Amino acid sequence: MNNNKYLKYLLPVAYLIPLLFVQVVFVPFISIETIIPDLILILVVHTAVKHGQIPGTLFGFGAGLIFDLVTGNMLASSALAKTLAGFTAGYFSTNRIDINLGSYRFIFIIVLAAFINSSTFALVTNFDLNNNFLKLIFEQGITPALYTGFVSAIWVFTIPKKQGDWLK
Amino acid sequence: MNQFFIALLRSFKAYLILIALVIASFMLMSISEHESTQRLRSLALSTFSQVSGIFGYVNFISDMRSENEKLRRRNAELMLENNQLREFGLENRELRDMLAFEDTSSYDLIAAEVIAKSFLADQINFTINRGAADSVKPGMPVISQTGLVGIVYTTSDKYSIVRTYKNVNLKLIVKLLNSGTPGILKWNGTELVMQGIPKTLQIQKGERIVTSEVSSLIGINIPVGEVARILNPESGLFNDLLLTPLADLNSTDNIFVMRMIQSKKVDNYELNYLNTK
C-alpha cells in the first residue's frame, strides 16, 4: 500500500526525463519566432492538480532545476518560475480531479500557470528598470502561456478518456 | 505551546514549503556562476547531451551530412572573407598597419551540430556536439554561414552550451561598419538592439553591424545584423538601433566555433564579463 503511495509520486519523475529531451530537441521545431510551448510545465500542472499543492510545488522546483542545469540557464531561474506555477496550480487540486483534468478547465489552469511561469522567468532573468514591464509581461508572459494552453488543449481533446477512470 | 506550533506548521505547510523553495532558488541563483556550479552543470550537460545527441541525429539525413557540412563551412569562410574585404575597402590600410592589427586572413573553424535548443522567454541557448576534447573553450565565438550566432558559455568533454545573441545575458561591443561607431549589442527580450549611438550620426537603413575589435570577447569583425530602424529618435541622449540579425536561430542546425586563442589576460580577467549577468 505504502509502495503504491510513493510510486504515484515517482511516476511524474519518470515522465520528466523523456519530456526534457522532447522539450529541448523536438519542441524548437514548432516554435513561432522564439515562442515555444512548455511541456514540462504541463507535467508540473498535471502533477499539482492530481497530487496536490505540495507535491506540485516540490516537483516544479525539481523539474525546473534539472532544466536549468541541462540548458545553461541561470541556475534556479526556471526552478523558481515552476515552483510558483506548481503552487498556483495546486489550488485547483480537489478530490474530483476529473473536473479539472479532463476538461477545458485544465486548459485554463495551464494558461494561468504558464503565465505565472513565463512572467516570473522573464522578470528574474531580464530585470532592468529601463524595461517596459507591461510589454515584457505581454510578450514574454502571455504569448508563451497561450501557446502552452493551445498544446494542452490538443492533449485534453484528443486523448480518449474512459468514463469514470478519474473517479476511482 | 508546542502543539500550537505544530498546528501552525500543519496549517501553513504549503506556504512554508513555498517560501523555503523561493529562498533556495534565490540562493542558488547567487551561486549560478560559481565554479562548483559550473562543474555540476558540465556533468549534467555531458550526461544529457549524450542521449539528446542520439535524438538529434534523427533530424539529419546522414548521407548528406558531410557534404552539407563542407558547403556550410565554405559558406562560413566566404562570409568571413567577404566581411573582411568590406572592411578593407572602408578602412585605411596604413592605419591598420600602424595599429598592428593581427592578420586575420584565415580562421580555424570547428564544425558542430546543434543537438538541442533551449528556447525560453528571453534567452535561447544551444547545446552543440563539440566540447573541451575538441579544444572548444568558453568565450569562443560561434558563427553560422550567415553571421554571428553567439559565444560558447560552458563546456563538458564532448559538448558545449552556446549563449546565442538572443540571450539577455550576452552583451557585446559592436560597431557600424561604415562609420566605425561603436555601440552595445543587446537582446532586450524581444528585439535585438544596438545601444549608445550618438544622436548626430547619420545612419542608413540596412547598414551592416559587425563585432568590434575592441570587444574583450570577440576581437575580430563578424557580421551580426543590419540596421532596421532607429528606436528612439526623439528622446534620450543616444539612439538605439533595432537590428535585423543575419543568422536565423530557428533554422540554424550547423554552426562553427571559431578556434580563437584567447590571451592570458582575456582568460583571467576579461572573460569575467561573460560570466556576469
Between CA B180 and CA B183 the distance in angstroms is 10
Q: List, in order, residues 6 or more apart from A92 with CB less than 8 Å away.
A: A48, A49, A100, A105, A109
CA B49, B52, B58, B59 torsion-angle sign: negative
What residue type is assigned to position B58 of the chain? V
Q: Which residues of B touch A48 (CB under 8 A)?
A: none
Query: Is a pLDDT exceeding 70 seen at residue A161?
Result: no
Residue-wise pLDDT for A84-100, tens only, equals: 999 999 998 876 666 66
- List phi, psi (to 5°) of A76: 75, 5
Q: Specify whether the CB–CB gap between A40 and A23 falls below 8 A.
A: yes
User: How many angstroms away from the CA of A116 is the closest CA of chain B?
Assistant: 12
Element (H, E) at A9: helix A2-21
What number is the average pLDDT over the span A56-68? 93
Query: Is a pLDDT exceeding 80 seen at residue B56?
Result: no
DSSP state of B157: S
First to last CA, chain B: 46
The number of residues making up chain A comes to: 168
Q: Does A126 touch chain B (CB under 8 A)?
A: yes
Indicate the pairing of strand B148-155 with strand B141-143.
Answer: antiparallel
Residue-wise pLDDT for B248-257, tens only, equals: 888 788 888 9
The residue among B230, B252, B90 whose CA lies nearest residue B164 is: B252
Domain boundaries, chain A: 31-158
Residue-wise pLDDT for B212-229, tens only, equals: 888 877 878 888 999 998
Q: Does B127 touch chain A (CB under 8 A)?
A: yes
DSSP state of B271: G
CA B76, B78, B79, B85 torsion-angle sign: positive
Between CA B149 and CA B145 the distance in angstroms is 10
Secondary-structure percent of chain B, ordered helix, strand, coil, rounded to 5: 35, 30, 35
Q: Specify whether the CB–CB gap between A82 and A61 falls below 8 A.
A: yes
- List phi, psi (to 5°) of B234: -110, 5
User: How many angstroms away from the CA of A86 is the closest CA of chain B?
Assistant: 10
Which residues is B226 bridged to in the sheet?
B208, B244
Q: Specify whether the CB–CB gap between B259 and B137 falls below 8 A.
A: no
pLDDT of residue A167: 44
Residue B203, C-alpha cell as written in the block: 545612419
DSSP state of B129: S
CB contact under 8 A, A76 and B28: yes
Of A13-22, A109-118, B117-126, B255-264, least confident by mean pLDDT is B255-264
Query: Is a pLDDT exceeding 60 seen at residue B97?
Result: no
Q: Which residues of A touch B55 (CB under 8 A)?
A: 21, 25-26
Between CA B15 and CA B201 the distance in angstroms is 55
The number of residues making up chain B comes to: 277
Residue A94, C-alpha cell as written in the block: 480537489
Between CA A67 and CA B116 the distance in angstroms is 12
pLDDT of residue A168: 44
C-alpha pair distances (Å), B174 with each of B25, B88, B118, B178, B243: 34, 17, 25, 12, 12
Candidates B51, B189, B250; nearest CB to A122 = B189
Candidates B22, B44, B163; nearest CB to A69 = B44
Query: Is a pLDDT exceeding 70 seen at residue B136?
Result: yes
Residue A163, C-alpha cell as written in the block: 468514463
What average pLDDT does chain B have? 79
Candidates B24, B59, B189; nearest CB to A136 = B189
What number is the average pLDDT over the span A13-28? 86
Element (H, E) at B175: strand B171-176
| pTM for the full predicted model | 0.69
- Complete DSSP assignment for B49-75: HHHHHHHHHTTS-HHHHHHHHHHHHHH
What is the separation of C-alpha B242 from the centre of its chain, rounded to a whole number of angstroms? 18
Q: Specify whether the CB–CB gap between A46 and A11 falls below 8 A.
A: no
> Is residue B218 classed as helix, strand or coil in its secondary structure?
coil
Indicate the pairing of strand B148-155 with strand B160-167.
Answer: antiparallel
